[in-house]
Amino acid sequence: MSISGDYEPSPTDWVRQQVDKIAETGDTGSVDIRGRAVVLLSMIGGKSGKLRKVPLMRVEHDGVYAAVASLGGAPQHPVWYYNLLANPDIDLQDGTTTTPRRARLVTDEAERAVWWERAVEAYPDYADYQTKTERVIPIFVLEPR
């Protein structure tokens, strides 16, 4: 079943504009960050129960995706990190294709190291973000459900 609910747009202007562009075009390929590809997660807010749409960098391997909770190297986790823990069933749009996914926080260090390498390959700035924060930047894998 696809994720639906009362849609609450991001309070951050540039993020909301990217989400609007994806909705208008039906294609995540219509936006990018520094020339790198973006995907769109639809999730349910852990407290509000509202539909949240969160664009993230596209990190993919063999049909599995990763969600990197970098928040630009901020000291705190993005709010969506807690949403995914509370409500792991999401929809993921890549290009014009949307698939149902389940988010799993990667806790195994070796598994995280493999995904971190893939993440930095997809978006090299993640390496810089990790140096700015004492957090170990969390990674979820987004597996088909």
Binding site for ligand F42 (CB under 6 A): 10-12, 15, 18, 33, 38, 45-48, 50, 52, 54-57, 68-71, 78-80, 82-83
Instruction: Give the shortest CB-106-to-ligand F42 separation in angstroms.
Output: 15
| CA dihedral (12, 93, 2, 66) positive or negative | negative
CA–CA distance, 46 with 68 (Å, rounded to integer): 18
Residues 6+ apart with CB under 8 A from 4: 51
**Whose Cβ is closer to ligand F42: residue 102's or residue 135's?**
135
CA 9 to chain centre: 15
CA 111 to chain centre: 18
**Whose Cβ is closer to ligand F42: residue 59's or residue 114's?**
59
CA–CA distance, 91 with 50 (Å, rounded to integer): 14
Residue 59: burial class (beta carbons within 10 Å; 0-12, 13-18, 19+): buried
Instruction: Give the shortest CB-144-to-ligand F42 separation in angstroms.
Output: 20
**Whose Cβ is closer to ligand F42: residue 78's or residue 88's?**
78
Instruction: Give the shortest CB-29-to-ligand F42 separation in angstroms.
Output: 13
**Whose Cβ is closer to ligand F42: residue 37's or residue 114's?**
37
**Whose Cβ is closer to ligand F42: residue 72's or residue 144's?**
72
Instruction: Give the shortest CB-79-to-ligand F42 separation in angstroms.
Output: 3
